[in-house]
Chain A
């Protein structure tokens, strides 16, 4: 239950801070950290929930955008980066980047109150 709660809360806060503030792109790391401090979990669990929160958020945001864009821009960016022009790989890479930062931030937060 805690897992689901932290996951949803972190995703919601990451979305909100991106949507309603002009804070830098990495500010979700701070919200993840706060969530992880507020709701302590074991480090590994905390990492996974934080990573899933941001990873899934980014995956769904990009999939929605990419679908309604008919992959026009993602295909071009995936050629520049270079990811062989695959929008799917680009969505995966995007999600992993978000997930890694999010997971690590949550992991960091989990050590604040975890006493063993």
Chain B
């Protein structure tokens, strides 16, 4: 033996293997373990799925009671035919895991503040935010409630969980999803808690914006003073076209919330003037909205209702949605499901169709807490010191020590901000959070019941169980009913209660009750022949409860939807597709002429004149290749900046920008609005004409730069993308050729938009269309990863296959068969 060369060579070999078996740091991120990642028998190559993969399979699962047949169609949508409901949810769990396991793991990690565990200290600020917000706390309460009181839902979630775990158990580790290999961790067992955490995350996504906006609004008010604040952030929306038609008479409210006598001075006009730092995750998108509507048979060609629903959410891959048909002896339903939860969320069955949009109501408030001392063991409430129990949340951190959060629990809820946790907007305060999502709910029971609903009464019963996030549930039935109801657990508020941080010393500012479900805005078979919602305020001001700040209720999409629906007759499913992808800009239709009243054209530079012409020649449609919309958008932004940028300037922290409708309403009625004056120019008084003209000149500079880069075309400027959850561009689809935008029915902005488009025509044999921007497979190495995106961008639809088993088997679009059975069967 040649010892020295042997040792030297062995050491080099071992050293190389060790390096290839380590995650190397590349900037803030870490590389995969390269040797492992590249190994053709272990690493990512195993995820490079054959483009002509045969998905036929026979799965043995002893958890089943009977047999289940799954047929996959040409779009990889599973059609599940099960002998009983539990088996169907078992298989739904199995299929979610088979096609979307990494996403299910990742999303629930985000929700439960467990990213640091796999990604290291870099993600601590996000984890701390979600822990302190009480995400785990809320999910635990729902889980306990269901385990104790709701055997049917428990059985459902348990069956689903068993299905996910059956897949994980059978999976060869070499075949685990790509992202686990990339980020170097392994899947863990699914639990019912994870399902509730996922639903909790949806509550956060749809109602959690207040967690940021209440603080920001408070600081904005503090900075401006209440009087100017109330001008710029008015709750009056002159052009509102509510969900429930104007003039509807509401019953006497059962709760009349009383505004505390001292609220004007001690709350509304209260202003505080110390900054610490703690990064929070980006607040949920303001445009987390949606459209839905249903037209009655009186307006359709067939005489049968048609329903449309398109939820607008962050555009991600793998998609939040997964299409599925579930057929059992009790029901048959089809639609978009959430990987992570059983049942169909937005869809239809053989009797009716339903869809949802976000209600936008404020169900999250902050209360300021006074602690006795730095131990935070006691807090002041109702004239005495009360014990604050500590909720312990342990955050595991990769390659580092655990971080322990001790959250003082108060009568309001968890103290999110205290001496140990601050962000620039919390400004050193101790803030407890009260949020309806913290209350025990029945999970996805509403959807479970909608999956089985046969008629209007079933729909009302199903949605009456819904608490958070508040939604507008639209309905259309085969028997000809259409309806919409805003449902959720809503606070009976006095005007502006909870818009800002409230004093938490006693019950003065406490919620005085929850609005009874029967008093939630609703309408059935209205005379006008349609119902609709697009996140606008549900009612006109005669509704007896305060709805929340106007900025939570986008105005213009609703106006656009209703304007079109009123004018339509003899409607077909194709007409509804055209409406769902409509790009008309009703905001600009109002704002452009209002703006032009104030532009001093003779004072403009030649370039600015050219840009104004470009804007005026625009057809008011946000189409893909339009340049006019880009010009309008940038001019509008610069005009708003010129008008109120000075008032907001000088704040050390970010303030809330006023809403567009505020300026439009002022332009329409008042040429001498005091806000127009630039308060930075002493001894000089600017008016709206000056500021609008200035805005146009400022916009022109940006527009010329864009023109040079050849980015004036709307889709190039907007650059819509569907981002992978890791934000890695190579796994995403960038720069999609699509129009639409803010205030547009086709609400596609940069990274946000219609996340599932569905049209259901309730004929005897249901005629349904739909798609989402993604693909049924979550595997970036699959040809089914992004199948629907180009079609979605082009505004096209797939005909959805919703058939009885015998018919589906024979359908030419049916491609594969996965058989589930017990081992001895």
A79 CB to closest chain B CB (Å) equals 4
Q: Are B35 and A25 in contact (CB under 8 A)?
A: yes
Name the contact of A100 in the complex, choosing from B5, B16, B41, B178 (C-beta under 8 A): B16
Q: Are B1 and A58 in contact (CB under 8 A)?
A: no
Contacts of A65 in B (CB 8 A): 40, 45-46, 48
B472 CB to closest chain A CB (Å) equals 39
Residue A72 is within 8 A (CB to CB) of chain B in the complex? yes
Residue A77 is within 8 A (CB to CB) of chain B in the complex? yes
Name the contact of B40 in the complex, choosing from A24, A61, A80, A114 (C-beta under 8 A): A61
**Interface locus among B400-408, B519-527, B779-787:** B779-787
Interface string of A88-116 (1 = CB under 8 A from B): 00000110011011001101100111111
A100 to B13, CA, bound (A): 9
Within 8 A of A (CB), among B1-57: 1-3, 5-6, 9-10, 12-13, 16-17, 20-21, 34-36, 38-52
Contacts of B20 in A (CB 8 A): 26, 97, 101
Q: Are B6 and A69 in contact (CB under 8 A)?
A: no
Contacts of A79 in B (CB 8 A): 729-730
Interface size on B, residues (CB 8 A): 43
B3 CB to closest chain A CB (Å) equals 8
A58 to B43, CA, bound (A): 12
Interface string of B720-742 (1 = CB under 8 A from A): 00000000111100000000000
Q: Are B40 and A62 in contact (CB under 8 A)?
A: yes
Q: Are A70 and B51 in contact (CB under 8 A)?
A: yes
A76 to B13, CA, bound (A): 30
Contacts of A107 in B (CB 8 A): 9, 13
A62 to B45, CA, bound (A): 7
Q: Are B5 and A111 in contact (CB under 8 A)?
A: yes
Interface size on A, residues (CB 8 A): 41
Q: Are B1 and A112 in contact (CB under 8 A)?
A: yes
Contacts of B17 in A (CB 8 A): 26, 29, 101
A19 CB to closest chain B CB (Å) equals 6
Contacts of A77 in B (CB 8 A): 44, 730
Interface string of B491-518 (1 = CB under 8 A from A): 0000000000000000000000000000
The main secondary structure of chain B at its interface with chain A is helix
Residue B173 is within 8 A (CB to CB) of chain A in the complex? yes
Q: Are B9 and A108 in contact (CB under 8 A)?
A: yes
Q: Are B38 and A97 in contact (CB under 8 A)?
A: yes
Q: Are A66 and B48 in contact (CB under 8 A)?
A: yes
- In the complex, the chain B residue whose C-beta lies closest to that of A32 is B13
Name the contact of A18 in the complex, choosing from B12, B39, B47 (C-beta under 8 A): B39
Within 8 A of B (CB), among A23-68: 24-26, 29, 43, 58, 61-62, 65-66, 68
Contacts of A94 in B (CB 8 A): 38, 40, 45
Name the contact of A101 in the complex, choosing from B6, B35, B50 (C-beta under 8 A): B35
A22 to B50, CA, bound (A): 23
- In the complex, the chain A residue whose C-beta lies closest to that of B47 is A73
Q: Are B48 and A97 in contact (CB under 8 A)?
A: no
**Contact A97/B6 with A61-B40, A62-B45, A73-B780 known, Cβ cut-off 8 Å:** no
A26 to B13, CA, bound (A): 11
A2 to B169, CA, bound (A): 44
Contacts of A73 in B (CB 8 A): 44-45, 47-49, 178, 780-781
A94 to B37, CA, bound (A): 9
Residue A13 is within 8 A (CB to CB) of chain B in the complex? no
Contacts of B9 in A (CB 8 A): 104, 107-108, 111
**Contact A97/B34 with A58-B40, A69-B51, A108-B13 known, Cβ cut-off 8 Å:** yes
Q: Are A25 and B39 in contact (CB under 8 A)?
A: yes
A98 to B782, CA, bound (A): 25
**Contact A69/B35 with A26-B17, A43-B5, A79-B730 known, Cβ cut-off 8 Å:** no
A111 to B182, CA, bound (A): 36
B55 CB to closest chain A CB (Å) equals 15
Residue A74 is within 8 A (CB to CB) of chain B in the complex? yes
B659 CB to closest chain A CB (Å) equals 40
B786 CB to closest chain A CB (Å) equals 10
Interface residues of chain B, those whose CB is within 8 Å of chain A, are 1-3, 5-6, 9-10, 12-13, 16-17, 20-21, 34-36, 38-52, 173, 178, 182, 728-731, 780-783, 785
Interface residues of chain A, those whose CB is within 8 Å of chain B, are 15, 18-19, 22, 24-26, 29, 43, 58, 61-62, 65-66, 68-70, 72-74, 76-77, 79-80, 85, 93-94, 97-98, 100-101, 104-105, 107-108, 111-116
Chain A to chain B contacts (Cβ below 8 Å), 10 pairs: A18-B41, A24-B21, A25-B36, A25-B41, A26-B35, A62-B40, A68-B50, A97-B35, A101-B35, A111-B1
